[in-house]
Amino acid sequence: MQKLFTRLFPILLVLLLAGFVQAKTMKLAMDADPVSLDPHMQLSGGMLQYSHMVFDPLVRWTKETSIEGRLAEKWERKDEKTVRFFLKKGVKFHSGNELTAADVIWTVKRLKDSVDFKGIFEQFEIPVQVDKYTVDIITKVPYPLLINTATYIFPMDSQFYSGTDAKGTDKGVINKTGYSFANDNASGTGKYTVVERQQGVKVVFKEFKGYWDEASPGNVEEIVLTPIKNDATRVAALLSGDVDFIMPVPPQDMDRIEKASNVKLVTMSGTRIITLQLNQQRVEAFKNEKVRQAIVYAINNAGIAKKLMKGRATVGGQNSPNGYLGYNADLTPRYDLKKAKQLMKDAGYEKGFEISMIAPNNRYVNDEKIAEAAASMLGKIGIKVNLKTMPKAQYWDKFDEQVADVQMIGWHSDTEDTGNFFEFLLMCPNKETGYGQYNSGHYCNAEVDALTLAVQSETDDVKRTAMLKKMEKIAYDEAAFVPLHWQDLSWAGKTNLQIAPIVNVMNFPYFGDLVIE
């Protein structure tokens, strides 16, 4: 074996080196790889990240959470319900087709058909073509978040995805559980094309030579994405030089990365709030506002943020992170064990009671440990918690069934707006309207509901802000839920990568703009 090996070695070496001739390759390690090549297959961070690489949106968020044009050169509001988008001319898809208004219309239609995105595009009509490069995007009702939502429109190559493939199925079809043309093939306007993909093992992206954005400073020609699920291994791969860039970075390793000389860490405070919901239908005591407050006071969320998150999280007292319209600076975190005990006493539950709690163990940063810590903190005010954690695939099912009295959920507003938190997490659950779909606490307040609905079509920002702040205040005072923290976003890479300019609060690093020195 040894002999054979030494003989083969020079040949192998040549073979290996041949692979590394072209410079500016970035080896990227993430916790997961895209589950499909079809951007509409799933609404998830991973898929949107992928979309930004292979497709391009009409508009996108900047680092300062303002909106900048991408495929849309400019846009103007025509009336309450309509925004006119002017597309860049001469933009080519990977297939060579040119981007036109028809592609945008086709894409919005497909979004409205997609199981995952149809909720977001519920308010949207089919867009109307003005001319070849101009399109009107129209909503059914006045919709202040139209532009925000346009960040989800990644025009797809309508010609490429039309017709039938070799198997005789429609190329445009979205299939979540089996073969579809779009799951395996992609043609977008993005900087990269997928040249090789082994699901769960690696994805190789190559620069698209006809890319439209020549102003971008980005110089990465090839990206090799390897999913490394285990946090510790991912960090080890970066430190040993096996990969150039990792995301996310586990908080417990951040110090070590900062200290290491060959790598650097970039963090940003995040907008995903981690909360616990107290099910008032399952537990009589949770109907008592004092008990809920006692729980909020008993949970040392500052301690969790400092110790479990290693200070890499912003401790929270409300849904909205700083910077959102609804962020209310008065709503500070409350931890006071004495007061918590007093509140339990006042509520008549001095002796405490026993409850169950569930949390995911691979969804949020340190979710399992946070749940464990919260459970033992509740123990201190006499609430005995039976905790069960599970992988996210099993978790959401149990969450919906509301099998436990306390359930963990983290929420990031898809629209970067405060109203979204309330629509999903705090409005009275209503099967018909779909509001309060993730309100497993059954918190229900008519005033909050009315306000949430009112802000949806309030286009005056000053009024909206006041309403949103009021909503946060009510939820805070009534201890509608237990806010824990907003987890920081984190990226780390070798020092020759200019990471800071390309990252943003949405957690989609724009790799197309990445500069490797």
Partner 1 sequence: MMTFAGFKDSFLWYSFKRDKIAIISLLVLVLLVMVAVFAPLVAPYDPYDPEMIDIMNSEIPPVWEDGGEKAFVLGTDSQGRDMLSTMIYGMRVSLIIGFGAVALQAILGVFIGLFAGYHGGFLDSFFMRAADVQLSFSYLMVAIFMSAILQAIVGVARFGEIAVPFLILVIGFSQWPQYARTVRASVLAERNKEYVEAARVAGFPSAQIIIKQIFPNTLSPILVLSTIQVANAVMSEAALSFLGLGMPIDRPSLGSLINSGFEFIFSGAWWITALPGLLLVILVLSINMLGDFLRDVFNPKLYKG
Partner 2 sequence: MIAFMIRRITQALIVIIIISIIGFAIKQSVGDPLRELMGISVSMEEREEFREKLGLNDPWYVQYGRFLGNAVKGDLGTSMFYKRPATEVILEKAPATLELVFVSSLIIIFLSVPLGIFSAIKPNSLLSRLLMGGSIVGVSIPVFLTAIMMVYVFSIKLGWLPSYGRGEVVMIGGWGTGLLTVDGWKHIIMPSIALSSIMLPLFIRLIRSEMMEVLESEYIKYAWAKGINKKRVWFVHAFKNTLLPVITVGGVQLGVTIAFTILTETVFQWQGLGFMFMEAVERSDAPLLVAYLMFVGIVMVGVNTIVDMIYGLVNPTVRIAGVK
**Residues numbered 227-256 forming contacts with partner 1, rule: CB under 8 A:** 230-232, 235-236, 250, 252-253, 255-256
| 99 binding partner (options partner 2, partner 1, none; Cβ < 5 to 8 Å by kind) | none
369 scored as a contact of partner 1 (CB under 8 A): yes
Structure tokens at 432: 């018909």
379 scored as a contact of partner 1 (CB under 8 A): yes
Three-state DSSP class for residue 484: strand
CA distances from 47 to 53, 356, 385, 426, 510 (A): 10, 34, 36, 27, 13
Nearest residue to 50 (alpha-carbon basis) of 66, 68, 65, 37: 37
| 183 binding partner (options partner 2, partner 1, none; Cβ < 5 to 8 Å by kind) | partner 2
Structure tokens at 358: 């569930």
- For residues 399 and 409, give the distance between their C-alpha atoms in angstroms, rounded to a whole number: 9
**Residues numbered 418-437 forming contacts with partner 2, rule: CB under 8 A:** 424, 431, 434, 437
DSSP state of 317: S
Shortest spacing between CB 19 and partner 2, in angstroms:
8
Q: Nearer Cβ to partner 1, position 146 or 375?
A: 375
DSSP state of 98: B
CA distances from 361 to 42, 186, 388, 489 (A): 21, 33, 9, 18
Site string for partner 2, 390-419 (x = CB under 8 A): -xxxxxxx--x-------------x-----
416, 270 contact by CB (below 8 A): no
Q: Nearer Cβ to partner 2, position 293 or 507?
A: 507
36 scored as a contact of partner 2 (CB under 8 A): yes
**Residues numbered 91-120 forming contacts with partner 2, rule: CB under 8 A:** 115-120
Three-state DSSP class for residue 273: strand
377 scored as a contact of partner 1 (CB under 8 A): yes
Strand 245-247 versus strand 202-207 pairing type: unpaired
Site string for partner 1, 250-289 (x = CB under 8 A): x-xx-xx---------------------------------
DSSP state of 500: G
Residue with tokens 């400092």: 306
If one counts every other C-beta atom within 10 angstroms of the C-beta of residue 401, the result is 9
C-alpha angle 159-163-169 in degrees, rounded to nearest 5: 135
By CB under 8 A, name the binding residues for partner 1: 230-232, 235-236, 250, 252-253, 255-256, 300, 303-304, 306-308, 356-358, 361, 368-369, 372-373, 375-380, 386-390, 394, 398, 403-405
| Interface with partner 2 (CB under 8 A) | 5, 8-9, 12-13, 15-16, 35-36, 42-44, 115-120, 175-180, 183, 198-201, 226, 228-230, 233, 236-237, 239-240, 242, 362, 391-397, 400, 414, 424, 431, 434, 437-438
